[in-house]
Amino acid sequence: MRYKLLGSSGLRVAEVALGTMTFGETWGWGADKATSQAIFDTYADAGGNFIDTANIYTDGVSEEFVGEFIANDRDYFVVATKYSLTDIRSQSSNPNHGGNNRKNMMHTVEGSLRRMNTDYIDLLWLHAWDFTTPVEEVLRGMDDLVRQGKVLYIGFSDTPAWVISRAVTLAEQRGWIRPAAVQLPYSLVRRDPERELLPMARALDLAVTPWGTLGGGVLTGKYTSGGSEPTRYSADDVNPADLAAAEAVGRIAEAIGASPSQVAINWIRQQPGILIPIIGARKVEQITDNLGALDFELTAEQMQELNSLSDFSLGFPRSFLESDNVRSLIFGQMYDRIDNHRA
């Protein structure tokens, strides 16, 4: 295991994070406690220290398991959890048990600290933007938690780029805690973040922790003709373009003696910027296989082949602004002589 800095901070985290949404069976699927412990131990034994959970994962069971698993070496682990979402099955009549507001933030953090039996949270994520709460309210609340010692670092998950950019600017202007990272869905078959979120993260020195790295399981190969793992759906239920990408990932994996999951994870790891994929598992064999991605890198040719699999377009304004015609008008006769590394 190698380690990366979490964005512009000095915090050192493992190059892949362990996702724990599968810890617990209260949602009708997932891993029991013994299996969750074995998955956690496999990751930790490989040198992993970056654990990602949330207040709502398996109705709080995930946080309870994580708290027990880290108890013997709390300072070693970097534990990230989230606030914003509420379990709709709880049928709470409290209108503030959900959302980005300060009241829900404080309520959720206290619950997470209690479930994990810890004095502090290393990284607090805003789980999802609610388009309601002022970003100033969010940042000031997070800053207060940091000053109280209950939270060390903050980040934004599933939030528009313009909101995160404004949050960083406000934090720098007002001396509040600055976001260190963003979390978002990203895979070879879901490349939307390349339009705005990933360029923003590189420009603002934010780490990125992608989830959904295997495209909902499509990129593992289980829906292709060679797939052997039982699935909830048939190949007919999967986007044909995604199936074609999975077939190509499988061919590359077979050629280099790797698994399709390892190839899909490394495609993300080798993108520009600070990318720290979240890997999750319901079985020990799955986490062991995912960790095998750390043993190799894809060649430039293999990366190019994978990049060409999807009919992905950056869309306006980037496709327009990065076209040769427009760039030649911007830079004039110097166009071919300028290394525009910001594009």
Q: Which tokens in the block code for residue 23? A: 């810890």
Q: For position 343, what pLDDT does the model report?
A: 52
The model's pTM: 0.92
Contact of 151 with 125, CB cutoff 8 Å: no
> Which residues, at least 6 apart from 317, have a Cβ–Cβ distance to it below 8 Å?
none
Q: Kindly give the parts of the chain with pLDDT less than 50.
A: 230-233
Q: Is 181 helix (H, G, I), strand (E, B) or coil?
A: strand
For the chain, which residues make up each domain, given as ranges? 3-311, 313-343
Q: Which residue has the tokens 């990751």?
A: 43
pLDDT in tens, 286-321: 999 999 999 999 999 999 999 998 878 889 988 888
Q: For position 39, what pLDDT does the model report?
A: 98
Q: For position 161, what pLDDT does the model report?
A: 98
Give the residue from 9, 52, 53, 21 showing the smallest Cα distance to 274: 9
**CA dist 169 → 132, 159, 262, 329 (Å):** 19, 15, 37, 31
Phi, psi of 211 (to 5 degrees): -110, 170
Domain 3-311 has CATH 3.40.50.720: no
Q: How far apart are CA 97 and CA 105, in angstroms?
A: 9
Q: For position 174, what pLDDT does the model report?
A: 98
Q: Which residues are catalytic?
A: 57
> Which residues, at least 6 apart from 222, have a Cβ–Cβ distance to it below 8 Å?
228, 229, 231
Q: Is 122 helix (H, G, I), strand (E, B) or coil?
A: strand
Give the residue from 312, 342, 323 showing the smallest Cα distance to 200: 342
